Structure formats: structure tokens, C-alpha cells
């Protein structure tokens, strides 16, 4: 594994852990949260398969869904 690939893998893992912590605090269960959790699950799956770019993209999308939901007031931040 190249240095860049290892950095991407570690960065993805870091954001997966942050997302899991964030999701453990969210009590709402609306479409935004469901979609964000699906992206988190997909990120883990792609990471396991070694598809690092897809794994990173999915965790970024998970964060985007949560940040949008917080901004428009669908979940409490």
C-alpha cells in the first residue's frame, strides 16, 4: 500500500469514528439520518473491500447529510 493510500485509509477511519460518535448522540430518526447512516455503512463496506476512494466519498456524504439536517433544524446539534 502506498503512502497516499495509507493516509486516505487512516483519514477515512478517523471520520468513520467521528461519525459513529455523532450518530450515537442523534435521537431523531428522519430521512436525513437514515441516509447518513446508510452512507456510513457503505463507507465501512468499501473500506473493508479496499476501495478507499469510494469509502472516503461515502463518509463525506454521511457528514454532508448530517450537517444539512442540523442547519435546517431537522436534528439538534
Domains defined for the chain, CATH in brackets: 3-71 (1.20.1270.90)
pLDDT tens, position by position, 3-52: 999 999 999 999 999 999 988 888 888 888 999 999 999 999 999 999 99
Interacting residues of 73 by C-beta distance below 8 A, sequence separation 6+: none
- Residue with the larger pLDDT of the pair 23 and 76: 23
40 burial (CB, 10 Å; 0-12 / 13-18 / 19+) is buried
- Among the residue ranges 16-20, 51-55, 68-72, the one predicted with the least confidence is 68-72
pTM: 0.89
pLDDT reported for residue 75: 84
pLDDT reported for residue 77: 61
d(CA 3, CA 73): 40
Amino acid at each position: 500500500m502506498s503512502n497516499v493510500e495509507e493516509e486516505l485509509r487512516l483519514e477515512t477511519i478517523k471520520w468513520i469514528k467521528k461519525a459513529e460518535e455523532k450518530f450515537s448522540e442523534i435521537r431523531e430518526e428522519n430521512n436525513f439520518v437514515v441516509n447518513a447512516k446508510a452512507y456510513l455503512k457503505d463507507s465501512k463496506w468499501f473500506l473493508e473491500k479496499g476501495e478507499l476512494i469510494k469509502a472516503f466519498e461515502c463518509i463525506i456524504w454521511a457528514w454532508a447529510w448530517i450537517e444539512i439536517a442540523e442547519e435546517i433544524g431537522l436534528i439538534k446539534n
